[in-house]
A and B are shown apart, each in its own frame.
Chain A
């Protein structure tokens, strides 16, 4: 049997329909000569369609999962203003007073990014653990909500910056969410934050049991 693409298969088993027969169908087609790109297309379609279906069928569960993710992240980010400067001081001997004089802020920005991504990862782990059997769709919903929030906040900050001459007050807790989508991060967070949530959830949730996969059919 031709070996299936590892990453795509891992994503399928974690976030996809959790149906052994469906995975077997893709394996049979791939063994029969279908291309890697065909396999990836099928996997992406399966993940998106099954997640949308699950979210649509369980709106309350999805709302709870998204709320848990955001609550965890924001709770961690309340500590950001303490942790990020301490991390910068520990790693690079940076302090805020000196930074105001020298204008050297990069150690803080890097530390703040670490805090941001630690929050995204930790919240994804909590969502995946709480919703172990439906971790895939719940993480997809949480990652999608993060993408929407980051996009909206990036646009808002951009607009307000123009209106208020670059003086936009961002609450400290929200700074760790918003900052990764700002230009000085090359707006990389729009891609990396949802990706970090999905990867962390993939690693944290473990693989669903075979009995679980047989029990649920694209649900």
Chain B
């Protein structure tokens, strides 16, 4: 899957995983996308994207400790693999290349 590009939503999710660092589990990732990215999400959509990226080796997961406020259920903590970082860079390059030379998009992003 060396040449895989990320969808816009996958890109948001994987960047949120990187931003959440050691605490990158469903709730934190969804919150990061909503608060920093300004895009409302459902947890299921986030998990689906993570699952898809895990199947392509872009993220990995491990189980944390169960906590009482989660009904005794463990957190699933995600981290980005080197292949995931490469996919982010590749996708960014593709977006930037497409972005360049469009007069309507010149100037400061709003």
* Chain A interface residues toward B at CB < 8 A: 1, 4, 16-17, 19-29, 31-32, 41-42, 45-46, 49-50, 53, 217-219
Is A31 a contact partner of B26 (Cβ separation < 8 A)? no
Main secondary structure on B side of the interface with A: helix
Q: Is there a chain A Cβ closer than 8 Å to B76's Cβ?
A: yes
Q: Is there a chain A Cβ closer than 8 Å to B94's Cβ?
A: no
Q: How many residues of B contact A (CB 8 A)?
A: 23
A24-B73, A27-B70, A29-B27 in contact; A42/B42 too (CB < 8 A)?
Answer: yes
Q: How many A-B residue pairs have CB under 8 A?
A: 79
6 further A-B pairs in the complex, CB-CB below 8 A; given A23-B73, A25-B26, A42-B44: A22-B76, A24-B66, A25-B30, A25-B75, A31-B69, A49-B44
* Chain B interface residues toward A at CB < 8 A: 25-27, 30, 42-45, 47-48, 51, 54, 63, 66-71, 73-76
How far, in whole Å, are A42 and B51 apart by their CA atoms in the complex? 17
Which of B44, B70, B74, B76 lies in contact with A45, CB distance below 8 A?
B44
Closest residue on chain B to residue A48 by CB atoms: B44
- Chain A positions within 8 Å of B73 at CB level: 20-21, 23-24, 27
Which of A27, A42, A49 lies in contact with B48, CB distance below 8 A?
A49
Is B51 a contact partner of A218 (Cβ separation < 8 A)? yes
